[in-house]
Amino acid sequence: MKQYVIDELRPEDHEKIKAWMDEHLETAPLGGLYWLPLEEALLEELQREHLQCAPHFFALELLDDRLCCELLVRTRKRVSCNCMAYATERQTLWLMAQIDAIFARTGTQN
């Protein structure tokens, strides 16, 4: 799996990020996993066409010492669909900017 990972999180930074994510993102039943919806303007043509699969999102896993962001655009409505694909360059850059913004909002170091 391709991932964008920020490691060596300090315990106090982990707590700030967790609090922000708990408040602003949807959580998965599996602890530490969050869904970050992808902006519609960034969807590829096939993803836009698959209204039945919307919304598309990135999975973020917050562990004690790192934040792992899958570079796979997913849907939660299906286990597999051809609209699920590795992020394009634009989508990847957007994800990285979103993570940077979360760190900035929480006053954490990355």
Q: Give me the average pLDDT of each 10-residue run along the chain (110 residues).
A: 94 96 91 93 95 94 96 89 96 97 88
* pLDDT value, residue 110: 62
* pLDDT value, residue 105: 95
* pLDDT value, residue 78: 80
**Cα angle for residues 56, 46, 95 (degrees, 5° grid):** 40
**Token pair of 16 as six digits:** 């700030």
The residues, ordered by sequence, that sit 6+ positions from 68 with a Cβ below 8 Å of its Cβ are 3, 4, 5, 60, 61
Judged on CB neighbours under 10 Å (0-12, 13-18, 19+), 101 is exposed
* pLDDT value, residue 58: 97
8 backbone dihedrals φ, ψ, rounded to 5°? 60, 40
pTM above 0.85, yes or no: yes
Beta bridge partners of 61: 33, 68
